[in-house]
Amino acid sequence: MFEGFSKRTIDFMWNLRLNNEKIWFEAHKEDFLRDFQAPMKALGREVFERITDDYGEYGFIHKLSRIYKDARRVRGGEPYRCNLWFSIEKPSEEWTSTPVFWFELSPENWSYGLGYYQARPMTMAKLRARIDRDPKKFEKLIAAIDKQDELFRYNR
């Protein structure tokens, strides 16, 4: 069960940013597992379960980012991410054509949203055409989102 992120979580992220090297990380790996990875996994699982309780027929999957950067993208010798994220999405061979829900935590902030990552022009053209066919439906959706003042609200 997700119990929140602690001050230790934020401290770990900042310390990793300042000491982004294998020796430091290995000495603090238990801190990472306890204070950063475990709460992120718990939050991701809880959000995934709530979404699939209502929309299980869509076959969503849950992904959690790794702390290790892809070796091809390590710049400046920093092998670790100072942020973690999870996503909930429909599995697809064409991952740029389906929207993804994500939550990300970094030392300075957190973010969440629903959208596409590098959507192809054809995907966006289809979305625009769908909105143009029924703009009232889209406006109703946006109005409901604008009224929210919290991350999740369930009317059961």
Helix (H, G, I), strand (E, B) or coil at 96: helix
Helix (H, G, I), strand (E, B) or coil at 62: strand
Taking the model in full, what pTM does it have? Answer: 0.78
Neighbours of 5 (CB within 10 A): 17
Question: For residue range 70-129, what is the model confidence (pLDDT) as tens digits?
Answer: 877 666 778 999 999 999 998 877 767 788 999 999 999 999 888 887 888 988 899 899
Measure the CA–CA gap between 123 and 115, rounded to whole angstroms.
Answer: 12
Average model confidence (pLDDT) across the chain: 88
pLDDT at residue 113 in the model: 86
Tokens of 27: 């000495």
